[in-house]
Amino acid sequence: MRLGADRARVRVPATSANLGPGFDALGLALALYDDVEVRALGSAEVVVDVVGEGAQDVPSGDDHLVVRALRHALDHVGAPQTGLHLTCRNRIPHGRGLGSSAGAVVAGILAARALVAEPESIDDDVALRLATELEGHPDNAAPALLGGATVAWSDEPSGRVHAARLPVHGSVAPVVVVPGTRLATSHARGVLPATVPHGDAAFQAGRAALLVEALGRRPDLLLPATEDRLHQGYRRPVMAESMALVDALRARGVPAVVSGAGPTVLVLARGVEGAASADPAAPGPTDADDALAAVFGGAMGGWRIVRLAIDTAGAAWRTLP
């Protein structure tokens, strides 16, 4: 397949995976975005310019995750490789459990979609499969690609990956509480046990099913629906402050969970009816604001509280002249 364009722009949202009991399956897209502009070069040169999150830490050549994902997608459809100039404007925090790596992978794959002559050859099913090959699991890639809340799963033994959108009640108003420290996903996954008690697995299955109902139709059930026995407790030693915050908020009736592999805490709050934000472009007050203020007591200690709308569109791409 030939290339059909030499410049493209991609926007990809942050994501929060697991949402408590939906380990490696459920995810939610958040209205915080990375923007990537890609230009194909006539030479073999690869240049990556990064502004914002991770600018001092990420590779600036072929090892950059967006480049790796883009090349993986070009190889998949038999398109020629090319030199590349990437400009990345990053807003998704790195190493915080907000899907920055999945966002980079999805951005690279959709950049390849924009560059090839037949974009339909990298449709959403193909994009999700390619992203999962690079990420290892689809819980972040699915909402980044499709937007909204998603459930992702794979067939056995073929390993074929699928995802479906889930309804989200209009009152659900996510709040992320982002620490100043990072945690590698590999480290967070490394403390998980190989097996769990049958009773905990049964509990988890029930809560994951309840979470789907709570997100879509019964947000008043979000507190019990976000209970978890599969991963958060085991991760307490590597994110003690995050788990202490989760405990403190839940004790006040707030449905708080670890976002993805952490250490960010996700609060599935509800918007306050009739209350307006001081900034018309920003989400308004939530029913968790008083609890958050009480827990922190005015001393944030490096944490940031950010209200975010739910992204409903997913990653977007377009070619440039």
Q: What is the reported pTM?
A: 0.94
The position carrying tokens 């030693």 is 237
* Measured distance CA(213)–CA(232) in Å, rounded: 22
- The reply to whether CATH 1.25.10.10 applies to domain 7-166+311-319 is no
The residues, any chain, with a CB within 8 Å of residue 237's CB and separated by 6 or more, are: 191
SS3 280: coil
* Per-residue DSSP letter, 215: H
Q: pLDDT tens string for the chain (321 positions)?
A: 899 999 999 999 999 999 999 999 999 999 999 999 999 998 889 999 999 998 888 888 899 999 999 999 999 999 999 999 999 999 999 999 999 999 999 999 999 999 999 999 999 999 999 999 999 889 999 999 999 999 999 998 888 999 999 999 999 999 999 999 988 888 888 999 999 999 999 999 999 999 999 999 999 999 999 999 999 999 999 999 999 999 999 999 999 999 999 999 999 999 988 766 666 667 889 999 999 999 999 788 899 999 999 999 999 999 999
| Residue 118 amino acid letter | E
* Measured distance CA(155)–CA(109) in Å, rounded: 22
* Measured distance CA(267)–CA(294) in Å, rounded: 15
* Measured distance CA(47)–CA(61) in Å, rounded: 6
Q: Where are the domains of the chain?
A: 7-166+311-319, 172-307
* Per-residue DSSP letter, 20: T
State phi, psi for 105 to the nearest 5 degrees: -65, -50
Number of CB atoms found within 10 A of residue 307's CB: 21
CATH architecture of the region 172-307: 2-Layer Sandwich (3.30)
Q: Is 2 exposed, middle or buried (0-12, 13-18, 19+ CB in 10 A)?
A: exposed
